[in-house]
């Protein structure tokens, strides 16, 4: 039954769009991150961060041996970027601060005024342009002096981050009403701190048995401390909100077997619950606690490799989010990996999780970033899972996007992807009554995509990285998104004619039939 439903889901996502208008208060935006666009890596007193260090000393870890030294040069071209935002018509711009640009040594004993001025000028111009900033404090670029102390595997980072957050709230809080402490700890705690297929990622530590868990525990405590600082010292006068940005692929059981249903829960709890459960429910997910403890015992450890929170820490972390920031790109088919196949191999987060992933061959695959498949219905399921498990929070989609090789300004696949995923957002709002309040597309422009360098392009604006001027040129998707924002619906007159976007009356009628079948099944 399940393979048939996957096929029906695919047909539905390819043929039917939700034609409801986006709610009046729904916010459209785009997103970027400091290291990926700013450049100016050592300009005006900025300190070295871990990605500066990693790309300079280990260039072979990057697909094209590139770095973010110049990137999109937004440090010098932020005014041009804001003009693109204004023309696009977005109401929100999500970007991150470079910790090393503000505190070059990582600590609060010295503040770099040139870095502060850069962000103040950016924020003031956004304010004058009527664009609301959603500011991330940390998007993977820790100051290198703190990385030399162990980075996020060092519990002292809780206090260093709290000091940095306090400086940011004091300096920029009058202009910022939406804060995110961390972007995707699931990504950097895994890819940076354990040695697996994602090991080409700063800082490149090989701490497979415990690294990701030590990192996760530190991040949760640091996030909570920053939240409480804002709550106690700044909220009354600044009236802002604080959250953390979490990411997970939707985990769809590969079959309807009990084992693969178990794999779905394992995938979602180890992927999302590891952070969301402590913040929205309290403590690690019990499934994780039990599973890691059992595996650690069988592996000969004297105690669980998953750090244990005290009751005081559980209470301190719980409730430290004012809204839910969700990054989502794609869906995995998941299967259960049996216990007997995993004990005695290695000790790792990946084996603790205990699942294998695959994808359906009918799902369109992105260029270069081939992990990214076009599965719009997965976002609706992910939104509903978050809503049902974490107390019906206000949800903001803070990243969602499609990669290609950037060879053409005509990008119909990006339009098709974004249209489908926005339709799923509308489904969640109107059909499921979930409180989704905004969407920021990744990304405004092509940029440095971490281990992919400049080979993978997610932008709605092309950047000529061979040009000293880093010339920006809007793509077809930019003008399509502008039209959607103006129309506040997935309007037919916004469609860019292409083979992939044509829809006939017959396919729409067929979509209605599929919708009925799926509705009966999910009920």
Which residues belong to the active site? 184, 399
CA dihedral sign of residues 191, 195, 197, 199: positive
Contact 406, 447 (CB under 8 A): no
- How many whole angstroms separate alpha carbon 47 and alpha carbon 62? 22
Q: Within a 10 A sphere around the Cβ of 65, how many other Cβ atoms?
A: 11
Nearest to 140 by CA among 467, 448, 471: 448
Contact 119, 102 (CB under 8 A): yes
DSSP conformational letter for 362: T
- How many whole angstroms separate alpha carbon 179 and alpha carbon 278? 19
Beta strands at 27-31 and 92-96: parallel, antiparallel or unpaired: parallel
Helix (H) or strand (E) holding 474: strand 472-474
Nearest to 71 by CA among 458, 451, 447: 447
Q: Which residues contact 255 (CB under 8 A, 6 or more apart)?
A: 2, 3, 335
- How many whole angstroms separate alpha carbon 435 and alpha carbon 412? 29
Exposure class string for 222-232: b at 16+ Cβ within 10 A, else e:
bbbbbbbbbee
Greatest Cα-to-Cα distance within the chain, rounded to the nearest angstrom: 67
Tell me, letter by letter, the H, E, C secondary structure of 88-143: HCCCEEEEECCHHHHCCCCCCCCCCHHHHHHHHHHHHHHHHCCCEEEEEEECCCCE
3-state class (DSSP) for residue 478: helix
Helix (H) or strand (E) holding 13: helix 2-15
Beta strands at 331-336 and 355-358: parallel, antiparallel or unpaired: antiparallel
3-state class (DSSP) for residue 306: coil
| CA 214 to the chain's CA centroid | 21
Q: Which residues contact 396 (CB under 8 A, 6 or more apart)?
A: 27, 134, 178, 243, 323, 324, 325, 326, 436, 437, 438, 439, 440
The sheet carrying 331-336 orders its strands as 250-253, 331-336, 355-358
- How many whole angstroms separate alpha carbon 390 and alpha carbon 251? 17
Q: Which residues contact 213 (CB under 8 A, 6 or more apart)?
A: 292, 305, 306, 307, 349
DSSP conformational letter for 271: I
Phi, psi (5° rounding) for residue 28? Answer: -100, 140
């Amino acid at each position: 039954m399940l393979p048939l439903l996957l096929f029906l889901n695919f047909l539905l996502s390819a043929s039917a769009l939700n034609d409801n208008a986006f709610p009046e208060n729904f916010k459209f935006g785009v997103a970027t991150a400091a290291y990926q666009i700013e450049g100016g890596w050592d300009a005006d007193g900025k300190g070295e961060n871990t990605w500066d260090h990693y790309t300079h000393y280990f260039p072979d870890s990057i697909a094209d041996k590139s770095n973010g030294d110049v990137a999109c040069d937004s440090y010098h071209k932020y005014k041009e970027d804001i003009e693109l935002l204004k023309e696009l018509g977005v109401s929100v711009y999500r970007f991150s601060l470079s910790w090393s640009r503000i505190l070059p040594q990582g600590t609060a004993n010295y503040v770099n005024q040139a870095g502060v001025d850069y962000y103040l000028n950016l924020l003031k111009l956004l304010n004058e342009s009527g664009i609301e900033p959603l500011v991330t404090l940390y998007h993977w670029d820790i100051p290198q002096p703190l990385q030399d102390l162990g980075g996020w595997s060092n519990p002292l980072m809780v206090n260093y981050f709290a000091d940095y957050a306090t400086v940011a709230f004091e300096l920029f809080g009058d202009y910022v009403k939406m804060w995110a402490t961390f972007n995707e700890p699931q990504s950097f705690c895994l890819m940076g701190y354990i040695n697996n297929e994602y090991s080409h990622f700063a800082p490149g530590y090989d701490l497979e048995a415990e690294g990701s868990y030590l990192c996760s525990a530190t991040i949760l405590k640091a996030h909570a401390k920053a939240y409480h600082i804002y709550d106690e010292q700044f909220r009354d006068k600044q009236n802002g909100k604080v959250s953390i940005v979490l990411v997970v692929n939707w985990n769809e059981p590969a079959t309807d077997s009990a084992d693969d249903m178990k794999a779905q829960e394992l995938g979602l709890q180890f992927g999302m619950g590891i952070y969301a459960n402590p913040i929205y429910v309290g403590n690690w997910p019990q499934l994780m606690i039990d599973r890691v403890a059992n595996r650690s015992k069988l592996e000969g450890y004297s105690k669980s490799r998953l750090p244990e929170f005290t009751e005081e820490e559980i209470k301190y972390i719980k409730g430290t989010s004012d809204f839910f920031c969700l990054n989502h790109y794609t869906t995995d088919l998941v299967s259960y990996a049996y216990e007997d196949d995993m004990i005695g191999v290695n000790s790792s987060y990946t084996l603790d999780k205990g699942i294998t992933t695959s994808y359906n061959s009918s799902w369109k695959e992105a260029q270069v970033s081939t992990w990214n498949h076009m599965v719009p219905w997965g976002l609706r399921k992910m939104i509903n899972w978050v809503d049902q498990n974490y107390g019906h929070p206000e949800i903001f989609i803070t990243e969602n996007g499609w990669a290609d090789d950037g060879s053409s300004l005509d990008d119909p696949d990006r339009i098709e992807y974004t249209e489908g995923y926005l339709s799923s957002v509308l489904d969640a709002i109107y059909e499921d009554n979930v409180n989704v309040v905004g969407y920021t597309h990744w990304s405004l422009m092509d940029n440095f995509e971490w281990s992919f360098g400049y080979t993978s392009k997610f932008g709605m604006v092309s950047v000529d990285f061979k040009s000293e001027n880093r010339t920006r040129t809007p793509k077809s998707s930019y003008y399509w998104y502008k039209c959607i924002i103006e129309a506040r619906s997935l309007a037919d007159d916004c469609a860019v004619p292409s083979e992939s976007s044509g829809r006939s009356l017959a396919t729409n009628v067929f979509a209605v039939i599929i919708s009925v079948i799926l509705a009966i099944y999910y009920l």
